[in-house]
Protein backbone atom coordinates (compact mmCIF):
# COMPACT_ATOMS: atom_id res chain seq x y z
CA UNK A 1 0.00 0.00 0.00
CA UNK A 2 2.90 2.33 0.85
CA UNK A 3 4.33 1.73 -2.61
CA UNK A 4 0.98 2.41 -4.24
CA UNK A 5 0.45 5.83 -2.57
CA UNK A 6 3.30 7.61 -4.44
CA UNK A 7 2.03 6.22 -7.71
CA UNK A 8 -1.49 7.46 -7.01
CA UNK A 9 -0.13 10.84 -5.95
CA UNK A 10 1.85 11.13 -9.18
CA UNK A 11 -1.19 10.15 -11.25
CA UNK A 12 -3.30 12.76 -9.45
CA UNK A 13 -0.66 15.41 -10.03
CA UNK A 14 -0.47 14.59 -13.72
CA UNK A 15 -4.26 14.71 -13.98
CA UNK A 16 -4.39 18.14 -12.34
CA UNK A 17 -1.59 19.35 -14.61
CA UNK A 18 -3.43 18.13 -17.73
CA UNK A 19 -6.65 19.78 -16.59
CA UNK A 20 -4.81 23.04 -15.91
CA UNK A 21 -3.26 22.92 -19.37
CA UNK A 22 -6.66 22.27 -20.93
CA UNK A 23 -8.17 25.18 -19.01
CA UNK A 24 -5.34 27.45 -20.13
CA UNK A 25 -6.21 26.83 -23.76
CA UNK A 26 -8.32 29.70 -25.10
CA UNK A 27 -11.25 28.62 -27.24
CA UNK A 28 -11.85 30.87 -30.23
CA UNK A 29 -15.49 32.04 -30.15
CA UNK A 30 -17.79 30.97 -32.98
CA UNK A 31 -18.61 33.30 -35.84
CA UNK A 32 -16.70 35.86 -37.85
CA UNK A 33 -14.44 38.54 -36.44
CA UNK A 34 -15.14 40.72 -39.50
CA UNK A 35 -18.61 42.20 -39.92
CA UNK A 36 -18.26 42.18 -43.71
CA UNK A 37 -16.64 39.61 -45.98
CA UNK A 38 -12.96 40.37 -46.65
CA UNK A 39 -12.05 41.08 -50.26
CA UNK A 40 -12.18 38.14 -52.66
CA UNK A 41 -8.98 37.81 -54.73
CA UNK A 42 -9.13 38.98 -58.32
CA UNK A 43 -7.99 35.59 -59.62
CA UNK A 44 -11.03 33.92 -58.09
CA UNK A 45 -13.33 36.57 -59.51
CA UNK A 46 -11.81 36.25 -62.98
CA UNK A 47 -12.03 32.46 -62.89
CA UNK A 48 -15.70 32.60 -61.95
CA UNK A 49 -16.49 35.21 -64.58
CA UNK A 50 -14.71 33.17 -67.24
CA UNK A 51 -16.94 30.23 -66.35
CA UNK A 52 -20.00 32.43 -66.92
CA UNK A 53 -21.24 31.72 -63.42
CA UNK A 54 -21.32 33.42 -60.02
CA UNK A 55 -20.15 32.69 -56.50
CA UNK A 56 -23.75 32.26 -55.40
CA UNK A 57 -24.40 29.72 -58.14
CA UNK A 58 -21.22 27.80 -57.35
CA UNK A 59 -22.04 27.77 -53.66
CA UNK A 60 -25.52 26.45 -54.32
CA UNK A 61 -24.16 23.76 -56.62
CA UNK A 62 -21.68 22.35 -54.11
CA UNK A 63 -24.21 22.69 -51.29
CA UNK A 64 -26.69 20.63 -53.31
CA UNK A 65 -24.03 18.03 -54.14
CA UNK A 66 -23.48 17.43 -50.43
CA UNK A 67 -27.18 17.66 -49.54
CA UNK A 68 -28.23 15.10 -52.14
CA UNK A 69 -25.46 12.55 -51.71
CA UNK A 70 -25.77 10.41 -48.61
CA UNK A 71 -22.73 8.39 -49.68
CA UNK A 72 -20.57 11.52 -49.61
CA UNK A 73 -21.82 12.73 -46.23
CA UNK A 74 -21.32 9.24 -44.86
CA UNK A 75 -17.71 9.23 -46.02
CA UNK A 76 -17.15 12.70 -44.56
CA UNK A 77 -18.47 11.64 -41.15
CA UNK A 78 -16.48 8.41 -41.13
CA UNK A 79 -13.19 10.01 -42.15
CA UNK A 80 -13.64 13.00 -39.84
CA UNK A 81 -14.08 10.58 -36.96
CA UNK A 82 -10.79 8.84 -37.72
CA UNK A 83 -8.93 12.16 -37.60
CA UNK A 84 -10.70 13.44 -34.49
CA UNK A 85 -12.36 16.44 -36.10
CA UNK A 86 -15.98 17.51 -36.50
CA UNK A 87 -17.28 16.74 -40.02
CA UNK A 88 -18.43 20.36 -40.49
CA UNK A 89 -14.76 21.31 -40.95
CA UNK A 90 -14.54 19.06 -44.00
CA UNK A 91 -17.83 20.36 -45.36
CA UNK A 92 -16.53 23.89 -44.96
CA UNK A 93 -13.35 23.13 -46.89
CA UNK A 94 -15.23 21.44 -49.72
CA UNK A 95 -17.73 24.28 -49.99
CA UNK A 96 -15.03 26.94 -49.89
CA UNK A 97 -12.91 25.28 -52.56
CA UNK A 98 -15.81 24.75 -54.94
CA UNK A 99 -17.24 28.21 -54.40
CA UNK A 100 -14.02 30.15 -54.94
CA UNK A 101 -11.75 27.73 -56.76
CA UNK A 102 -13.45 25.29 -59.13
CA UNK A 103 -17.03 24.46 -59.92
CA UNK A 104 -18.36 21.27 -58.35
CA UNK A 105 -19.48 18.24 -60.31
CA UNK A 106 -23.11 17.27 -59.95
CA UNK A 107 -22.38 13.79 -58.61
CA UNK A 108 -19.70 12.20 -56.43
CA UNK A 109 -19.29 9.48 -59.06
CA UNK A 110 -17.96 12.08 -61.49
CA UNK A 111 -14.91 12.55 -59.28
CA UNK A 112 -14.13 8.84 -59.47
CA UNK A 113 -14.41 8.96 -63.26
CA UNK A 114 -12.12 11.99 -63.41
CA UNK A 115 -9.58 10.28 -61.16
CA UNK A 116 -9.45 7.27 -63.46
CA UNK A 117 -8.46 9.55 -66.35
CA UNK A 118 -5.29 10.81 -64.66
CA UNK A 119 -2.66 8.56 -66.17
CA UNK A 120 0.48 9.34 -68.06
CA UNK A 121 4.22 9.70 -67.92
CA UNK A 122 4.71 13.06 -66.27
CA UNK A 123 6.97 14.16 -63.45
CA UNK A 124 7.50 16.94 -60.97
CA UNK A 125 10.29 19.09 -62.38
CA UNK A 126 11.43 22.59 -63.32
CA UNK A 127 13.57 23.47 -66.33
CA UNK A 128 14.50 19.83 -66.86
CA UNK A 129 15.51 19.20 -63.24
CA UNK A 130 13.37 16.65 -61.40
CA UNK A 131 12.20 17.36 -57.88
CA UNK A 132 14.25 14.38 -56.69
CA UNK A 133 17.44 15.87 -58.09
CA UNK A 134 16.51 19.33 -56.88
CA UNK A 135 16.06 18.39 -53.21
CA UNK A 136 19.35 16.47 -53.39
CA UNK A 137 21.17 19.81 -53.75
CA UNK A 138 23.41 20.71 -50.79
CA UNK A 139 21.12 23.54 -49.70
CA UNK A 140 18.62 20.90 -48.57
CA UNK A 141 21.10 18.88 -46.49
CA UNK A 142 19.73 20.47 -43.31
CA UNK A 143 16.39 18.74 -43.96
CA UNK A 144 17.83 15.22 -44.06
CA UNK A 145 17.51 14.75 -40.31
CA UNK A 146 13.83 15.72 -40.22
CA UNK A 147 11.54 12.97 -39.02
CA UNK A 148 8.35 12.41 -40.99
CA UNK A 149 6.98 13.83 -44.21
CA UNK A 150 5.47 16.92 -42.57
CA UNK A 151 8.74 18.12 -41.06
CA UNK A 152 10.72 17.10 -44.14
CA UNK A 153 8.65 18.95 -46.74
CA UNK A 154 8.06 21.94 -44.47
CA UNK A 155 11.84 22.24 -44.19
CA UNK A 156 12.29 21.88 -47.94
CA UNK A 157 9.70 24.57 -48.63
CA UNK A 158 11.50 26.89 -46.21
CA UNK A 159 14.79 26.27 -48.02
CA UNK A 160 13.08 27.07 -51.33
CA UNK A 161 11.75 30.36 -49.97
CA UNK A 162 15.07 31.34 -48.47
CA UNK A 163 17.60 30.12 -51.05
CA UNK A 164 15.92 29.71 -54.44
CA UNK A 165 12.71 31.69 -54.80
CA UNK A 166 13.31 34.57 -57.22
CA UNK A 167 17.05 33.90 -57.32
CA UNK A 168 19.63 32.53 -59.75
CA UNK A 169 21.48 29.55 -58.33
CA UNK A 170 24.06 27.51 -60.21
CA UNK A 171 23.16 29.19 -63.47
CA UNK A 172 19.43 28.47 -63.15
CA UNK A 173 17.00 31.34 -62.64
CA UNK A 174 14.11 30.32 -60.39
CA UNK A 175 10.72 32.07 -60.48
CA UNK A 176 9.57 34.30 -57.66
CA UNK A 177 6.72 31.92 -56.96
CA UNK A 178 5.61 29.26 -54.53
CA UNK A 179 7.49 25.97 -54.37
CA UNK A 180 4.27 24.11 -55.20
CA UNK A 181 3.61 26.26 -58.26
CA UNK A 182 7.12 25.88 -59.68
CA UNK A 183 7.74 22.17 -59.21
CA UNK A 184 4.35 20.53 -58.72
CA UNK A 185 2.15 21.38 -61.71
CA UNK A 186 3.66 19.31 -64.51
CA UNK A 187 1.11 19.51 -67.29
CA UNK A 188 -1.09 22.57 -66.88
CA UNK A 189 -1.65 25.58 -64.71
CA UNK A 190 -3.98 24.04 -62.13
CA UNK A 191 -2.40 23.54 -58.73
CA UNK A 192 -5.13 21.77 -56.76
CA UNK A 193 -7.25 18.84 -57.82
CA UNK A 194 -10.18 16.61 -57.01
CA UNK A 195 -12.96 16.77 -54.45
CA UNK A 196 -10.60 18.09 -51.77
CA UNK A 197 -8.68 20.33 -54.18
CA UNK A 198 -5.41 19.03 -52.73
CA UNK A 199 -2.10 20.51 -53.83
CA UNK A 200 0.49 17.80 -54.71
CA UNK A 201 3.02 19.34 -52.31
CA UNK A 202 0.42 19.34 -49.54
CA UNK A 203 -0.22 15.66 -50.21
CA UNK A 204 3.50 14.85 -49.94
CA UNK A 205 3.67 16.82 -46.70
CA UNK A 206 0.77 14.91 -45.14
CA UNK A 207 1.45 11.45 -46.57
CA UNK A 208 2.79 10.01 -43.29
CA UNK A 209 -0.32 11.13 -41.39
CA UNK A 210 -2.64 9.63 -44.00
CA UNK A 211 -0.67 6.38 -44.20
CA UNK A 212 -0.75 5.99 -40.42
CA UNK A 213 -4.42 6.87 -39.87
CA UNK A 214 -6.10 5.72 -43.10
CA UNK A 215 -3.65 3.05 -44.25
CA UNK A 216 -3.07 4.39 -47.75
CA UNK A 217 0.33 3.92 -49.39
CA UNK A 218 2.86 6.65 -48.79
CA UNK A 219 3.43 8.99 -51.71
CA UNK A 220 6.75 9.47 -53.50
CA UNK A 221 7.79 12.74 -55.14
CA UNK A 222 9.42 10.72 -57.94
CA UNK A 223 6.04 9.17 -58.81
CA UNK A 224 4.00 12.17 -59.95
CA UNK A 225 1.31 9.99 -61.49
CA UNK A 226 0.86 8.19 -58.17
CA UNK A 227 0.50 11.48 -56.33
CA UNK A 228 -2.13 12.72 -58.75
CA UNK A 229 -4.03 9.44 -58.63
CA UNK A 230 -4.19 9.74 -54.85
CA UNK A 231 -5.42 13.33 -54.69
CA UNK A 232 -7.93 12.79 -57.49
CA UNK A 233 -9.53 9.75 -55.81
CA UNK A 234 -12.38 11.12 -53.65
CA UNK A 235 -11.81 8.71 -50.77
CA UNK A 236 -8.09 9.42 -50.49
CA UNK A 237 -8.63 13.12 -51.14
CA UNK A 238 -11.02 13.30 -48.19
CA UNK A 239 -8.40 11.65 -45.97
CA UNK A 240 -5.83 14.26 -46.96
CA UNK A 241 -8.38 17.00 -46.34
CA UNK A 242 -9.00 15.69 -42.83
CA UNK A 243 -5.26 15.39 -42.17
CA UNK A 244 -4.70 19.00 -43.24
CA UNK A 245 -7.48 20.25 -40.95
CA UNK A 246 -6.18 18.17 -38.04
CA UNK A 247 -2.71 19.68 -38.55
CA UNK A 248 -4.13 23.22 -38.50
CA UNK A 249 -6.04 22.62 -35.27
CA UNK A 250 -2.99 21.06 -33.63
CA UNK A 251 -0.69 23.86 -34.78
CA UNK A 252 -2.81 26.60 -33.19
CA UNK A 253 -3.28 24.54 -30.06
CA UNK A 254 0.43 23.78 -29.56
CA UNK A 255 2.02 26.96 -30.92
CA UNK A 256 -0.50 29.70 -30.12
CA UNK A 257 -2.40 28.20 -27.19
CA UNK A 258 -5.80 28.63 -28.83
CA UNK A 259 -8.43 26.11 -29.80
CA UNK A 260 -9.85 26.77 -33.28
CA UNK A 261 -11.79 23.51 -33.44
CA UNK A 262 -15.10 25.24 -32.68
CA UNK A 263 -14.74 27.71 -35.56
CA UNK A 264 -15.08 26.08 -39.01
CA UNK A 265 -14.45 29.44 -40.70
CA UNK A 266 -10.93 29.48 -39.30
CA UNK A 267 -10.11 25.90 -40.28
CA UNK A 268 -11.50 26.66 -43.75
CA UNK A 269 -9.30 29.77 -43.93
CA UNK A 270 -6.21 27.74 -43.07
CA UNK A 271 -7.19 25.04 -45.52
CA UNK A 272 -7.27 27.77 -48.16
CA UNK A 273 -4.01 29.57 -47.31
CA UNK A 274 -1.90 26.75 -45.84
CA UNK A 275 1.25 26.96 -43.68
CA UNK A 276 -0.58 26.60 -40.35
CA UNK A 277 2.60 26.35 -38.23
CA UNK A 278 4.01 29.63 -39.52
CA UNK A 279 0.65 31.36 -39.25
CA UNK A 280 0.08 30.09 -35.70
CA UNK A 281 3.53 31.36 -34.75
CA UNK A 282 2.87 34.76 -36.31
CA UNK A 283 -0.52 35.02 -34.58
CA UNK A 284 1.04 34.07 -31.24
CA UNK A 285 3.60 36.87 -31.61
CA UNK A 286 0.93 39.42 -32.52
CA UNK A 287 -1.20 38.33 -29.60
CA UNK A 288 1.69 38.57 -27.14
CA UNK A 289 2.33 42.11 -28.38
CA UNK A 290 -1.31 43.04 -27.83
CA UNK A 291 -1.92 43.42 -31.56
CA UNK A 292 -4.48 40.60 -31.90
CA UNK A 293 -7.05 38.85 -29.74
CA UNK A 294 -8.22 36.04 -31.99
CA UNK A 295 -7.17 34.69 -35.39
CA UNK A 296 -9.33 36.09 -38.19
CA UNK A 297 -11.04 34.41 -41.10
CA UNK A 298 -10.37 35.37 -44.71
CA UNK A 299 -13.03 35.76 -47.42
CA UNK A 300 -13.22 31.98 -47.83
CA UNK A 301 -13.66 31.19 -44.15
CA UNK A 302 -16.02 34.12 -43.70
CA UNK A 303 -18.49 32.47 -46.08
CA UNK A 304 -18.37 29.22 -44.10
CA UNK A 305 -19.14 30.92 -40.80
CA UNK A 306 -21.82 33.06 -42.46
CA UNK A 307 -23.52 29.95 -43.89
CA UNK A 308 -22.76 27.72 -40.91
CA UNK A 309 -26.32 26.92 -39.86
CA UNK A 310 -27.22 25.86 -43.41
CA UNK A 311 -24.04 23.81 -43.81
CA UNK A 312 -24.49 22.03 -40.50
CA UNK A 313 -27.96 21.10 -41.67
CA UNK A 314 -26.39 19.08 -44.51
CA UNK A 315 -25.00 16.64 -41.96
Helix 234-251 vs helix 224-232: angle between axes, to the nearest 10 degrees?
90
Closest CA to 279 of 303, 263, 296, 291: 296
Spatial CB neighbours of 238, under 8 Å, sequence gap ≥ 6: 75, 76, 79, 90, 195, 196
| Mean pLDDT lowest among 54-63, 109-118, 222-231 | 109-118
Distance of alpha carbon 246 from alpha carbon 19, whole angstroms: 22
pLDDT tens digits, one per residue of 31-88: 999 999 999 989 889 888 888 889 999 999 999 989 999 999 999 999 999 999 999 9
Spatial CB neighbours of 272, under 8 Å, sequence gap ≥ 6: 96, 97, 100, 298, 300, 301
Q: Mean pLDDT score of the chain, rounded to an integer? A: 87
Q: pTM score, two decimals?
A: 0.86
pLDDT tens digits, one per residue of 260-285: 999 999 999 999 999 999 999 999 99
Amino acid sequence: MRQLLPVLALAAALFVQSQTTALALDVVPPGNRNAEQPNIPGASMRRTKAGKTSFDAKYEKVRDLIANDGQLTGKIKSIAGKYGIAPIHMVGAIVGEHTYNVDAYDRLQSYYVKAASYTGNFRFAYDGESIGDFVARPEFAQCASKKGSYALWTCRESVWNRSFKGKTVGGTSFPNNRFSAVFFQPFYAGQTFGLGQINPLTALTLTDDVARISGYDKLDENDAAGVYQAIMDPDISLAYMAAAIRRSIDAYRKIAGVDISKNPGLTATLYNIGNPDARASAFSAHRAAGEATWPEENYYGWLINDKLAELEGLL
